[in-house]
Amino acid sequence: MAVVTGVIVANLNFIQPIENLIAADFNLSKAAVGTLAMVTQLGYAFGLLLIVPLGDIFDRYHLIQVMMILSIGSLLLAFWAPTAGVFAVATALVGITSVAPQIIIPYAGYLAPALQRGKVLGIVLSGLLTGILLSRSFSGLLGSIMPWQDIYLLAAGIDLVFLLIVHAKLPQDERGHQNLSYLKVIGMLPKLFTSQRALRGSAINGFCLFGMSNVLWSTLAFYLADTYHLGSSVAGLLGLLGIAGVLAAPMIGNLVDQRSPRLTVGLGMVFSGVAFVLFWLIGHWMLGLIVGIILLDLGTQFSQVSNQAIVQSLNRQQSSRNNSVFMFSYFLGGSMGTLSATWAWGHAGWTGVCGVAMVFLFLALLGHWLIGEPQKLAQD
């Protein structure tokens, strides 16, 4: 589950290190190509809202495979796209159809024993983060040696291989299909948000911390080109620094189980905030940039693992719906981070980018103080 989750989520991030290449090929401004990256994440957010709840209705073994097939088709359209308009449609579809990881995650939480749920989710989420960071490296390095379109073709081929693996190895869903109305399930989502304080807190924290992460990754290629005169391959290599977050994920899950999700969410905000202070003060030195990226990835992972453990502890029978609410907010924050950061880059450069991140941090702290997180996870 961890590996497949990483492979599929990688589709969302191929665009970030190669934004300069896409801009040059389609004759787009940096702001316009930043909007394309935002469209991918916004598409993913709406896929989370409208498709992931189907995991509470349909057999998840089959639903995951259907979504993987649609995702492969979207990647092939992005490879073929002859114009910026077609590519924009393709990137939106890539986002909408790449939601299988968010069906897998609540499925893993459903299968896991209550006292080990944080650890299990930490392992699966380490696969998710691995896919995110390796996708940037994969895209950035290949973008420096081949046409950027070929990245999407290779991704479609890799996803096809893993579709066959999923078909052979993923556990069957013993629940089968549930007698639930899709419209009623979707209609319940706002009520789930308003009636569950812990879900509201996690949704707001995820919005802000993933927004901060995307503030960096949506503008890093521009910053490297302007400050260091470096290209997409280096942007991809810097993505490998996120290995610290991957290695820490199971440990974070254990901390959530044994200590407190409120503690680990707080640590996530501290790491992310310190990262952007370093970016602003000493980001013009490569060492400062490297240390900041490591801290930011750790902060993002602390937030992601902690909030997923909170959300998956709330109600096993509506785990996909709760996850849909949380992840919609999470990637809505990511898309807003991308959009606001590319706007800030055009108007105020790197200082403006770091200022946008501080706004997200302030909102996260406000949610932490006013809503908060549970001291302990709910047990079945």
pLDDT digits 0-9 by tens, 280-336: 999 889 999 999 999 998 999 899 889 988 887 887 677 778 888 898 898 889 889
> Tell me: domain 2-169+181-370, CATH 3.40.50.10420, correct?
no
pLDDT at 210: 93
SS3 label, residue 172 = coil
**CA-based Rg of the chain, rounded to a whole angstrom?**
19
pTM comes to 0.76
Token pair, residue 136, equals: 């940037």
Among all chains, which residue has been given the structure tokens 């992601």? 304
Q: Which residues of the chain have pLDDT under 70?
A: 232, 236, 316, 378-380
- How much is the pLDDT for 290? 93
Say how many Å lie between the first and final Cα of the chain, rounded: 23
pLDDT of residue 286: 92
* pLDDT score for 331: 81
Per-residue pLDDT at 378: 62
Residue ranges per domain, the chain? 2-169+181-370
Classify each residue of 154-177 as buried b or exposed e, where b means 16 or more C-beta atoms within 10 Å of its C-beta. bbbebbeebbeebeeebeebeeee
Confidence at residue 380, expressed as pLDDT on a 0 to 100 scale: 52
The model's pLDDT over 69-81, given as tens digits with 9 standing for 90+, comes to: 999 999 999 999 9
- What is the pLDDT at residue 133? 75
In this predicted structure, what is the pLDDT of residue 379? 57
Cβ-contact 360, 208 below 8 angstroms: yes
Handedness of CA 270, 274, 275, 280 (dihedral sign): positive
**What is the Cα 123 distance to its own chain's centre?**
16
Instruction: Identify the pLDDT of residue 232.
Output: 64
